[in-house]
Amino acid sequence: MSVTERYLNAWEGFWGASSGAPGEVIWDSAPESAAEAHPALLALPGELPLPVVDLGCGNGTRTRWLAGHFPRAIGVDLSRAAVEHARRADPEGLAAYERLDLVDTAAVRALHERLGDSHVYLRAVIHQSDPGDRPAVAAAVAELVGARGRAFVVELEPAAKDVIAEAAGASGGTAEKVRRVFAHDLRPAAASGGEVAALLRGAGLAILDEGETELVMTGFHTDGRRVVLPSRWFVAGRAEAPAGGDG
């Protein structure tokens, strides 16, 4: 099983048309200053020092940041062009990058077999996924965390659609960044309220913690306000996962 040709072409086209430069893409904000850099995420390596897998890593901005906080960081993305951007942006080899289709169950299982149980970082991937693929994406998260890992998942709330529409209607560079997303047939904020938690539970994970947050974008509204998207974060894992251990 794999993602649809439409979805694959959408992401390959989007990243192929990008230079990979920091901040060029609307969601590529600096992670250390972003609201979603939540203490619940940074607590994970201290609680259990496992590798972290950045699902949907794009040009690797957050993967490189995660590499400074976790014992090992691996960024994976559906798009080959995105993976190439990430590798070029990381000449020091802070993290590793590879292509992975999260709907490809065998490929996800093979990655788990290579890494062992890992923490997972999933930022705004489910809401962009085709509805039929979302259970498989959640299952990929569950496969990679295994018995010991934790997933830190941040996804847009439905109210983000209104903010995106406002930003798209502005003038200048911010509007162009938003329009590029739609021009490549990407569909942000498509998940309904409560869907993400239900998908994670359906994949066999327990919601261990959650809260409200905002995803900080690289653009501004016409009145000078930073574009921020209402979101919700979750920490998920096996309820019976043991504490301690080393990866």
> Is 173 domain-assigned?
yes
Residue 29: pLDDT above 60? yes
Residue 5: pLDDT above 70? yes
What pLDDT score does 24 carry?
Answer: 94
Residue 245: pLDDT above 70? no
Query: Which residues constitute the domain of residue 129?
Result: 5-237
> Is 189 domain-assigned?
yes
> What's the number of domains the chain is made of?
1
Calculate the average pLDDT of the chain. Answer: 91
CA separation for the pair 182, 188 (Å, rounded): 8
- Smallest CA-to-CA distance from 212 within 190, 228, 188 is with 228
What pLDDT score does 242 carry?
Answer: 47
User: Do residues 37 and 62 make contact, with C-beta atoms less than 8 angstroms apart?
Assistant: no
DSSP state of 241: P
> Is 247 domain-assigned?
no
How does pLDDT run across 131-160, given as a tens digit for each residue? 999 999 999 999 999 999 999 999 999 999
Helix (H) or strand (E) run with residue 123 in it: strand 119-123
- Maximum separation of any 2 CA atoms in the chain, in Å: 52
Residue 244: pLDDT above 60? no
Query: Helices (H), strands (E): how many in the chain?
Result: 10, 7
Residue 35: pLDDT above 70? no
pTM of the prediction?
A: 0.93
Residues 6+ apart with CB under 8 A from 92: none
CATH number at residue 121: 3.40.50.150
How does pLDDT run across 56-92, given as a tens digit for each residue? 999 999 999 999 999 999 999 999 999 999 999 999 9
> Is 242 domain-assigned?
no
> Is 245 domain-assigned?
no
